[in-house]
Structure 1
Amino acid sequence: MIPEGYMEDAQGNLVPEAKVKPEHKLEDELVHRLAGSARALHNTLAEFKGAALGEADAFRALIAEKYGANKGGAKGNMTLRSFDGKLEMQVSVSDNLSFGAELQAAKELIDTCVERWSEGANDNIRALINHAFQVNKEGRIDTGRVLGLRRLDITDTDWQRAMDAISDAVRVTSSKTYLRFYEINPSNGARQPIALDLAAV
């Protein structure tokens, strides 16, 4: 609790209000007031997202009950449209992935393949493989680059075992559900997002 007549600075020190410059007091009041409004908007958006996803799930359940099949794709993804085609609502679920210990086994199997395939060749092939296993700015292996190796059509037995190890190494660490709204121009099909992001408003 801050005593009356004092303000707390960034280091946690109590400073008498009389010692605080008027412009600093004005800045403090401005930031507190607008941040309070931002928190209220944040809470309103969170309530809206929860209610909208709840209604979307209820609609999905209604469709499933009527037809015996879910409306939408894997992981809860679905797109709903107004009857006139001018509005669209998208629900999408995105997984954050990481790799388990099997990834090291995959790397060793891939290295075995590269050594067999590149006898007498230069190191460019190895450089391409090592690139897929480099860490990103956050110090983690880029899941997209490694998973991209599985799309290569290579029938080598060691390579196939390595791809199985990569598949086994994948871990879903968290999931995030996104809710997006669009207005659609029926004459040309152009889709314009209804911005719920301050930077995009």
Structure 2
Amino acid sequence: MTVENTIPKGYRADANGRLVPETMIKPIDRARDELVQELARQARIVSDGLREFKSRVFADINAFVDLSAEQYGVTLGGKKGNLTLFSFDGAFKVQVAIAEHMVFDERLQAAKHLIDECIIDWSQGSRDEIKVLVQSAFQTDKEGKINTGRVLALRRLDIRDEKWQKAMQAIGESLQVVGSKEYVRFYERIGDTDQYRPISLDVAAV
């Protein structure tokens, strides 16, 4: 039995679940309700269509990549990785990208401890820019997560200190890939140029 079937005839449930006689609902409130209900219904249809389209896109691309590999007697399995496909005339291109979700394990704390020791050891000789970079790298966001990119940026600093190098090794070894997500993007060429603009499937960007 649905929620609608449990509501007595002549009543409607408000946002708090309270039963309100339909005769007490203002016409403008009814009109608003009808508008939102209809738009939401259409949005669900579009969303379901996009979900089916996405599944079909990945299935078709994977099938094509397998077909292409067969030309060389190669059999591919699993996710196909990052790739770009162009139409014959170059008017369109499709990009498939795999974004890995990476996190740090407990070894990051050891790296942070070693880096702190470096800052203390260098004391007067340490550059303020490096201190700021270190502080920024280990700051957490509102969810308490550390920005992976900022931490990894520390490894690009050309610092020969043995303790620093050990900290950088700890950072690298603490990085773990815990998942991945596939993305597909579509582009069309702008006129006769070599530039492409995205074909947006985002309602806000259309």
- TM-score normalised by L of structure 2: 0.87
Q: How much does 1:97 deviate?
A: 2.3
Residue 70 of structure 2 is aligned to residue 65 of structure 1: yes
Uncovered stretches (5+) of structure 1, i.e. residues with no partner? none
How is 1:72-151 mapped onto 2 (pairs within 5 angstroms)? Answer: 76-119=81-124, 125-151=130-156
Letter in 2 for 1:77: N
Counterpart Cα distance in 1 of 2:106 and 2:21: 57
Taking a change above 3 Å as real, the CA distance of residues 99 and 68 of structure 1, as seen in their structure-2 partners, is farther
Taking a change above 3 Å as real, the CA distance of residues 125 and 193 of structure 1, as seen in their structure-2 partners, is closer
Q: How much does 1:183 deviate?
A: 0.6
Uncovered stretches (5+) of structure 2, i.e. residues with no partner? none
Taking a change above 3 Å as real, the CA distance of residues 75 and 116 of structure 1, as seen in their structure-2 partners, is farther
Q: Deviations over 1:149-200 (max 9, x none)?
A: 1122333322222112112222334322111111113621121111111111
Q: Which residue of 1 aligns with 2:31?
A: 26
Q: Which residue of 2 aligns with 1:49?
A: 54
Q: Which residue of 2 aligns with 1:157?
A: 162
Q: How much does 1:138 deviate?
A: 3.2
Report the count of equivalent residues: 199
Q: Deviations over 1:105-134 (max 9, x none)?
A: 010111222222334557664333122111
- TM-score normalised by L of structure 1: 0.89
Q: Which residue of 2 aligns with 1:13?
A: 18
Superposition RMSD in Å: 2.3
Counterpart Cα distance in 2 of 1:159 and 1:180: 40
Taking a change above 3 Å as real, the CA distance of residues 177 and 84 of structure 1, as seen in their structure-2 partners, is same
Counterpart Cα distance in 2 of 1:56 and 1:122: 50
Report the identity percentage.
50
